[in-house]
Amino acid sequence: MSLLPLNTHIDFKLLARRLTMVENDLAGADAYLKSLAINNRVPVIGITGPPGAGKSTLVGALVTELLKQGKKIAVLAVDPTSPFNMGSLLGDRIRMAAHFNHPDVFIRSIATRGSVGGLSVKTIEMTDVLRAAGFDYVFIETVGVGQSEIDIAGLADITVVVLVPESGDEIQHIKSGLMEIADMFIVNKADREGADAFVSNIKKMVMQKHADIKVFKTDAVHQTGVSAVAAHLQQADLGANTKRIFLLTEKVYRLVQQKRMQGIEKIKLRQLVAEASQKKDFNIYRFADAVDTMNS
CATH number reported for the structural domain that contains residue 46 in this entry: 3.40.50.300
Q: Residue 96 domain-assigned? A: yes
Residues 216 and 283 in one domain: no
- Yes or no: say if 53 and 162 are a contact pair by the CB < 8 Å rule: yes
Residues 76 and 191 in one domain: yes
- Yes or no: say if 123 and 155 are a contact pair by the CB < 8 Å rule: yes
Total of domains in the chain: 2
Q: Residue 141 domain-assigned? A: yes
Q: Residue 223 domain-assigned? A: yes
Q: Residue 24 domain-assigned? A: no
pLDDT tens-place string over residues 90-100:
455 555 667 77
Please give the sequence-ordered ranges of beta strands (E in DSSP) within 112-220, or none if there are none: 137-141, 158-163, 184-187, 214-217
Question: Domain containing 51: what range?
Answer: 39-257
> What DSSP character marks residue 103?
T
Residues 171 and 273 in one domain: no
| pTM of the predicted protein model | 0.81
Residues 249 and 281 in one domain: no
Residues 272 and 198 in one domain: no
Residues 90 and 143 in one domain: yes
- Residue 144 vs residue 281, higher pLDDT: 281
- Gap between the Cα atoms of 111 and 90, Å rounded: 7
Residues 60 and 195 in one domain: yes
Tally Cβ neighbours within 10 Å of residue 29.
17
Q: Residue 288 domain-assigned? A: yes
Residues 230 and 280 in one domain: no
293 has a pLDDT exceeding 80:
no
Residues 126 and 163 in one domain: yes
Residues 65 and 190 in one domain: yes
Q: Residue 151 domain-assigned? A: yes
pLDDT tens-place string over residues 117-158:
446 678 888 999 999 999 999 999 986 644 555 567 667 889
